[in-house]
Amino acid sequence: MLPAIAASSNGRLLSLASRDAGRARVMAEQHGVERCVETYDAVLEDPAVEAVYIPLVNSLHREWTLRALRAGKHVLCEKPLALNAAEAEEMAAAAEAAGRLLMEALMYRFHPRMRELAESVTAARHVHAVFGFSLDAPGNYRLDPQLGGGALLDVGSYTVSAARWLLGEPREVHAVARRGPSGVDTTVSALLGFAGGAQATLLASFETPEVQELVVVTGDRVVRLEQPFTAWRDPADPYQLMVEAFAAAALDGGPAPLPAADSIANLRVLDRIAELIR
């Protein structure tokens, strides 16, 4: 994200804060950030800062988004936008009340290859979306239930988003999961049913080799994409495209390129899966 903001045509890196001040100074020097401050509040109190990017652990997205909006900042928040749809609805309402932009940083939605696929596919009958990798790090926040960890919210956000983007909102949701020692879901499989009989099968996992795949089956063709969720600089940079689209909307007073309503709808499906696997 830092290189993407620096390379963007309509944004610049002004201020950076981290819980580790030393690491923040190193990152600021590496990426040409003008100011390195000691607290998140110091970023929000800076009148020159117009928008903030929030890459904090999932459990802090709501708190710092609301604080940023109260400080009059536009917010680009890392996925998932919140821990659940209710939190996201509160955040969206706060953004509307503040007259500021709120957008989830789901960068794959801005990749030209993905946008072309979404625009070209009509009457898809089946979507198969997989995102998995091996995570064997007991101290990693993704494995901490108190921090909003788990494969479903992490990589599952992408697979659910892709299915909804191509098929609409599901009517039926079925799911199973495996849990790790910390209690978070480490592998989740889901089957979604849509109006007209279309279906989606999803896999989100911390227990597989590195794998990303998107298969779309229509009545007359099968489209397969490798690395659909993190393709980067091939040649397009979806991070930079996302940053530029967000900044353009913030500067022009337009709507979010990825509306908060879409993120809320995504979390509603994730909530349904989460309830089933509990």
Which residues are marked as active site?
79
Cα torsion 33, 35, 39, 40: sign: negative
Contact indicator for 125, 198 with CB cutoff of 8 Å: yes
- CA 162 to chain centroid, in Å, comes to 12
Report the amino acid identity of residue 129: A
Q: How far apart are CA 9 and CA 236, in angstroms?
A: 14
- Distance from C-alpha of 120 to C-alpha of 122, rounded to nearest angstrom: 6
Q: Give the DSSP letter string of 257-270.
A: SS-HHHHHHHHHHH
The token pair that represents 112 in the structure block? 């030209």
23 exposure class (CB count in 10 Å sphere: 0-12, 13-18, 19+): exposed
Backbone phi, then psi, for 95, in 5-degree steps?
-65, -40
The answer to whether residues 218 and 124 touch, using CB atoms and an 8 Å cutoff, is yes
**Distance of alpha carbon 127 from the chain centroid:** 20
Q: CA–CA distance from 28 to each of 1, 17, 23 (Å)? A: 13, 9, 9
Inter-CA distances, 36 with 44, 46, 47, 73, 222, Å: 13, 12, 15, 18, 49
